[in-house]
């Protein structure tokens, strides 16, 4: 299994993202949809559910692959962070989604050991 990491030119705190940023992410995914089997997006938790919803309504009719968003409550190098678990879980779900017995084609959120449908998720706290 091979992975390619592609970072945004300018990293933003998720609270500073607006619909235009999410549309740009969607356009980038669409431009690379034939090059990859799945996509994992690391984002802040403040707008993760909102972003997943935007992407589900803009991408689903154009892409037949899983897109998994994830984030964490604490930065990756802080004690007690959930970042490593969430990132590894998102990568695992992206890989499993490719197996013919699953073939998940949706915009999802992987958080707290759960895979959620992106356009059905809300941030509670």
DSSP symbols for 28-51: HHHHHTTT-SEEEEE--SSSHHHH
Q: Where are the domains positioned within the chain? A: 38-74+83-125
Cα radius of gyration rounded to whole Å, the chain:
14
Bridge partners, residue 107, by sequence: 67
pTM reported for the whole predicted model: 0.93
| Residue ranges in the chain modelled with pLDDT below 70 | 1
**The predicted structure's pLDDT at residue 1:** 60
Give the span between the Cα atoms of 41 and 32, in whole angstroms. Answer: 14
């Amino acid at each position: 299994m091979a992975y390619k990491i592609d970072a945004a030119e300018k990293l933003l705190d998720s609270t500073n993202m607006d619909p235009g940023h999410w549309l740009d992410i969607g356009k980038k995914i669409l431009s690379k949809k034939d090059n990859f089997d799945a996509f994992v997006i690391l984002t802040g938790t403040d707008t993760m559910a909102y972003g997943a919803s935007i992407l589900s309504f803009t991408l689903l009719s154009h892409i037949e692959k899983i897109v998994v968003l994830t984030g964490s409550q604490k930065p990756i190098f802080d004690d007690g962070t959930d970042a490593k678990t969430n990132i590894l879980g998102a990568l695992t779900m992206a890989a499993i989604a490719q197996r013919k017995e699953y073939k998940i084609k949706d915009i999802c959120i992987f958080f707290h050991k759960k895979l959620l449908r992106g356009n059905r998720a809300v941030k509670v706290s």
